[in-house]
Amino acid sequence: MSSASLSVALVGNPNCGKTALFNQLTGGRQKVANYAGVTVERKEGKFISASGRTIQLLDLPGAYSLEATSPDERVTRDVIQGRYPGEQRPDLIICVADATNLRLHLRFLLEIQQQGCPVILALNMMDAAQKRGIQIDVARLQQMLGIAVVQTVAVQRAGAQELIALVEHYQQSVPQPQTAPDAASNTADLHQQVRTLLAETVHMPRATDARDDAIDRWALHPVFGLAILAMVMFLVFQAVYSIGKPMTDSIGDVVTWAGALAGNAMPDGPLRSFVTDGLFGGLGTVLGFLPEILVLFLFILILEESGYLPRAAFLLDRAMVSVGLTGRSFIPLLSSFACAIPGVMGTRSITDPRDRLTTILVAPLMTCSARLPVYALLIGAFIPANHKILGTFNLQGVVLFLLYALGIAGAMAVGWVLKHGRRDQSEHALLMELPSYRLPKARDIFIGLWERGAIFIKRLTGVILALTVLMWFISTFPGPPAGAVGPAIDYSFAGYLGRGLHYLFAPLGFNWQISLSLIPAFAARETAVAALATVYAVSGGDANLAGLGHALGGQISLASALSLMVWFAFAPQCMSTLAVIRRETHSWRMVVGSFSYMFVLAYVASLLTYHLVGWLS
């Protein structure tokens, strides 16, 4: 490290605004949300102060104590104590504290002071504290703690400049600790010191927010609360279809038009086939699903920002405990609706190793956003668009909701089986903080949607593009031999491969084209759509979403379509998820077990669906 640079770590209890402050200081775009456990790893950023000094800033997972009980808390403890591999002990620690809830935060601050590190206290969320009439005597607090105290509002610039100035000159500005806790102080001593500090420096009219209490009377009600939660989720999936579908259709029209334009401008040949069937047919079809993904995430982001999600975790705790999970599993499982990878990583906030392992194993059953294009394609092709349930609800939206519910039910069932397969069946009480409700900030929502859109486009132009090119290649080459009478694709690599796989998947009602599309889906689920579009386009179908829908509708039955949807609800997770499971559990056995159980589950469920629907119809 150069003499001019300074290493600073942001620490504090969960959900006190560390990451928001990190983003504010570094210009980063790390995920923020209004619940505990969003950050489970160290994040690194830097900024240059007014005097040109480089400040290396570490954002650490939230921790209630240095006596770590979960893997994410261990990261924080090890960095603070200089025991984290490849990481030097920070020069300075900024302890971020939620000004509306100082009791726990001050206890953690005293623990950090015991370590002998230079500390600055950032009293965050000062705006919320002022609204609740909480008065903090900052000068007195600073004097009693013997450290610099600065007031901040992490979501605004307020206080950030003052904090930067303090960080830059911390050696001069931080008063020497006068009443810092003795290193030998035990937990009871620390609590006593916190009580003294609060009594002398904080005036709090009431312990909780009256507005929160009023909302929670309904939102946390054992009956009405669950009904509200079910209704909220149901409406989200309705919105995906009501708002997203028209935009998807518009993008499909534009892609079709552009594909035709490009095709007409090129001479007949392999390059023309590549552009029209591969790029526009395969890739363009997947691009069309961007609006539906963004609409889904718009609502998830609003729920995350509002503070409602921890309430949902509280409501579902009893149900989750009964199947061997815990309310703490809710947030990682919810993250898995975006992608199983942050979901599996998010389990680090779960204290009990068995609960954590169970959550890791069931997280991939949550419907990740990569499955949405597959569902949307099949629902669009097989479920009537104008059919309404109770005269109001779109049938397509209802089916989508049911598919998501199927994933959740599958996770519950697997959790229940795992619970009964282990010796220790003790249940662990859920202890979690319920944050104050707040209105989502348009800027945060916009950044969240932007990031999600950017990730989708990056995947589309990265691995999905590469897989689509390969699919086009194996669907086109080798060409049919002289005198061949069947379609050209029957003689291609794809034809042979697909027919080989067909033996395995025929009992599920899949044709060889669908069987083939399951291979690239192992790398990225959305690629199943691109693969199907490419194969059907090469076979002479229309190279667009509507054409693919027609082709599927004409070639497979409703029973096959439902079987395929069920397959994707339970199908073995993608390669990246398996890699993360290996990394988090340190066990190849878990990877093999996870893949195997999902394959068997998906196969059996699809088989039953295909035959049951076939029998009923």
Partner 1 sequence: MTLSLTLQYLFLSLVVAASAWRVLQHLAPKQTTRGLLSLAAWLSQQQPQVLQRLGRRIRTKRDQKNCDSGCGACGGCSTDEAHAPLADPQPITFIARPRQ
Binding site for partner 1 (CB under 8 A): 30-31, 41-43, 71, 74-75, 78, 85-86, 267, 269-271, 274, 338-342, 345, 348, 353-354, 356-357, 369-370, 421-424, 451-452, 455-456, 458-459, 462-463, 465-467, 469-470, 473, 523-524, 574-577, 579-580, 583-587
As measured in angstroms, the least distance from the Cβ of 357 to partner 1 is 5
- 357 or 412: CB nearest partner 1: 357
Decide if 284 contacts 255 (C-beta within 8 A): yes
Q: Would you say how long the chain is, in residues?
A: 617
Looking at the Cβ atoms of 414 and 613, the one nearer to partner 1 is 414
Instruction: Give the C-alpha separation, 614 to 115, whole Å.
Output: 68
Cβ closer to partner 1: 24 or 238?
Answer: 24
Question: Looking at beta carbons only, is 39 or 113 nearer to partner 1?
Answer: 39
Nearest distance from C-beta of residue 316 to partner 1, angstroms: 23
Q: At CB < 8 A and 24+ separation, what contacts does 178-181 make?
A: 178/143, 178/146, 179/144, 179/145, 179/146, 180/110, 180/113, 180/114, 180/145, 180/146, 181/110, 181/111, 181/113, 181/114
Distances (CA, A) of 430 to 71, 119, 328, 390, 577: 17, 31, 7, 38, 27
Min dist CB 459 to partner 1, Å, is 5
Q: Which is closer to partner 1, CB of 296 or CB of 465?
A: 465
Kindly state the smallest distance separating residue 164's Cβ from partner 1, in Å. Answer: 22
Under DSSP, is residue 202 helix (H, G, I), strand (E, B) or coil? Answer: strand
Query: Under a CB-based contact definition with an 8 Å cutoff, are residues 602 and 572 in contact?
Result: yes
Q: Cβ closer to partner 1: 202 or 537?
A: 537
* Smallest distance, partner 1 to C-beta of residue 339, A: 4
Q: Which two tokens stand for residue 491?
A: 């003689």
Min. distance of Cβ 100 from partner 1 in angstroms? 27
**To 10 degrees, what angle do helices 245-265 and 545-555 make?**
100
Is 168 or 451 the residue whose CB approaches partner 1 more closely? 451
* Shortest reach from residue 162's CB to partner 1, in Å: 27
Q: How far apart are the first and last CA of the chain?
A: 71
Residue number with CB closer to partner 1 (31 or 105): 31
How far is Cα 6 from Cα 166, in angstroms, rounded to an integer?
12
| Residue found by looking up tokens 């990246």 in the block | 576
Query: Quick one: which of 351, 346, 322 has its CA closest to 333?
Result: 346
Cβ neighbors of 180 (< 8 A, separation 6 or more) are: 110, 113, 114, 145, 146
To partner 1, the closest distance from the beta carbon of 267 in angstroms equals 7
One-letter amino acid at 33 equals A
